[in-house]
Structure 1
Amino acid sequence: MKALLSLIILTFSMQSFADCDLLLEDSNTCIEYTWTNGPHLNSRAERNFSELVVKYFDADDTSETALENDLIKVLPWMIMPNMEHGTRPVITTQLEDGSYLISEILLKKMMGYWEIRFVDSTDDSVLASFKIQ
């Protein structure tokens, strides 16, 4: 009985109490994202830029206080049947509330799908991603 109770307590203590859009398990960091403009899939010569607000916070912080994060970069990435590639650089601006505005995201309509990748700026490894719907 004690072993079962200990297992239940351990299971709940390891779970995050925050509502994460994406969870970086290694650092127990939540990523919350909201499109403020778009996403726009441009055809031919169109240049409608999309914007995204991203907030990082500790997964155990019920107040979801924004964390400063300069080690993660946001990278739009196209997945196609025979190749993958990024797009032009985005602009990242820290907002007053501690979140980040990711602007000038240029997405072109192609044979495949776009995703937003969160990449470690020290080694370019992908930490998390989501498919653009």
Structure 2
Amino acid sequence: MAMDNIDISGTRDDATATETTTTTETTTVADMTAATDTTAAEEATATVQAAVRLYAVAPGVRLNVRSGPGTQYGVVRTLPEGASVSIRCQRPGTTVSGPYGTTNIWDNIAGGQFVSDAYVYTGADGYVAPRCS
């Protein structure tokens, strides 16, 4: 809000009056919708980022990542020692024995990439993620 002093004619020299200018800001429904959509998208992104959990691969292990849930599938890459993985989903496959027990659970860590849950510390003996469809 801007305020200016103005002279009032016919009064003593030291008399002034105050003129007030009011500025109105208009917000349209479209502006409000865009702001709401942006906020909702930011909150959804934060929720997804917060939901990503990393699980440690057994210490001292260079873990083979396979193209499917079993030892009969080809190795697509090898994780280095000290790696952690995020588990997208899990599914049954070949039974494997490892540092964290014997299991047939395989963890999907990326599209077409699986590791045996026997080598991933999840803190549980069963499924910790949804089953892969």
- TM-score, with normalisation over the residues of structure 2? 0.29
> More strand per residue: 1 or 2?
1
Q: Relative CO higher for 1 or 2, CA cutoff 8 Å, sep ≥ 6?
A: 1
- Larger C-alpha radius of gyration, 1 or 2? 2
- TM-score, with normalisation over the residues of structure 1? 0.29
